Amino acid sequence: MASNKRKQDEKHLKILREMVSLPSNKQCFDCHQRGPTYVNMTIGSFICTSCSGILRGLNPPHRVKSISMASFTPEEMDFLKSHGNELGIDLLTGAVCLNSLQMDALLVLPMY
């Protein structure tokens, strides 16, 4: 059982590293520092260490996970695959206009 979990974690880490190598995810969503090492699970963006600490301190806090140190469920991976920095930027700048049904579909990750 532990072997399967480790294999899944390794697979997820490989996918996350591929996602971070995409042009839109190569820098922190919030401050644009190169090489994000965390994921903001609240909105599905890639962020740096400094911004992860700031986001954790907000009220309400954002859910932040380390790319290399945390385990991710298949549902969390699907959430990240459907989000990322590019979608976040598009939503903030109004480049994408979503109706309420589309917004509900985006927010499928259960909050713990």
CATH code for position 40: 1.10.220.150
Q: Is residue 78 part of a domain?
A: yes
Torsion angle, alpha carbons of 30, 32, 35, 36, to 10:
0
Q: Is residue 11 part of a domain?
A: yes
Domain that holds residue 66: 2-106
- What tens digit of pLDDT does each residue of 4-52 get? 999 999 999 999 999 999 999 999 999 999 999 999 999 999 999 999 9
Give the pairing type, strands 64-66 and 38-40.
Answer: antiparallel
Q: Is residue 39 part of a domain?
A: yes
- Of 56, 50, 54, 109, nearest to 83 (Cα)? 109
Q: Is residue 111 part of a domain?
A: no
What total number of domains does the chain contain?
1
Mean pLDDT computed over 69-74: 96
pTM equals 0.80
Upstream peptide bond of 61 is cis (omega within 30 degrees of 0): no
Q: Is residue 112 part of a domain?
A: no
Backbone angle region of 50, left / alpha / beta, with phi > 0 → left and psi within -120 to 50 → alpha: alpha
